[in-house]
Structure 1
Amino acid sequence: MARRREAIGTYERGLEALQKRDFPSAAAAFRAVLEEFHDERDLHERSRTHLRVCDRQMTPAAAKPKTPEELVYAATVALNNAAQDESLRHLQQAIGQNPDDECAHYMLAVVHAQADRPDLAISHLERAVDLEPENRKLARQEPDFESLRETEQEQQLLKPPVAKRRRARRASR
């Protein structure tokens, strides 16, 4: 019986700390209930619930992306999680901060291609290739541009530059 009172006292100290928004102390008390009072199963579920609240409150919120690089990274993560609208917002912010960000233009081309907006996709892809010619090679392999492959604009855009085509022809002779 004394052990039960001790468990209840520990649990109540956790509740008091939680009400005062002292999350570290509350979490310590709820962990103690779980770890030290194995027979008090009725307190375990409530302690776990309160512990999750404490953990959530003690976890720092993810910093919002600020630089163009951070915004492009956040857009990539959002796109990988099928959050196209969020990705688009991040990329538009990145372009707003740096209109010559070739990565942001390339990713905007991907987002627009996935959303079946070929004109916008090609426009951003052209800009990405203008800013960084190596993007042409990447785009040739990009599965998200498959829907654009039949368009004349994309075929012209993805052709190797004339000098490289001549060298390739000479090398094959």
Structure 2
Amino acid sequence: MASVLGLLEARERAARERVEDLREAAARAAAALEAAEVEWDRRVIAREELVDALAESAEEATAAVETEGEDLPAPVLASVPGAVVPPWREGLSVAVLSLDNQRILNVLQDRPGHEPVRAKGIAAALGIDNAVAAKVEGVRSKAKRLGERGWLLQEASGAFSAGRRLVAGPGGGSSA
């Protein structure tokens, strides 16, 4: 007949082995999640770089058409999914921006005192899970693009606030 102490030790040993197995599985899952997030971030950056390169190419083509004296294409009246963020200029409606970018602008404009907000705070205000770094990076990249194009003001600290400014166009002059 086995002793009670021996039975308890056997159960303890089995529980400890189960905990160790689960910890190893959790570590593998965490490593796989981190690798997937890194890959996702790389894909987002690659897409954004492509969009920026296409935008520069379009700006150069537009500048070439303007110098030749030909008519300019009709302005875009509404946002198109995946569309490039145009440089802000006087009289340009926010309707030319994607819905995500419009939501970011609204969050910053609705803040009392228009205090600067970091991307994590914008994500939280939009109802996005700000504990997921890749989702916060998506918001940061959109806000940064809006800042580069003059739709938002970007602080040196990386925070963003509501406001507009003219951005230099391809020829070095203002974009207005």
Asked if TM exceeds 0.5, the reply is no
TM range (shorter): under 0.3
Higher helix share: 1
Relative CO higher for 1 or 2, CA cutoff 8 Å, sep ≥ 6?
A: 2
Decide which structure has the larger Cα Rg and report it.
1
TM-score norm. by structure 1 comes to 0.26
TM-score norm. by structure 2 comes to 0.26
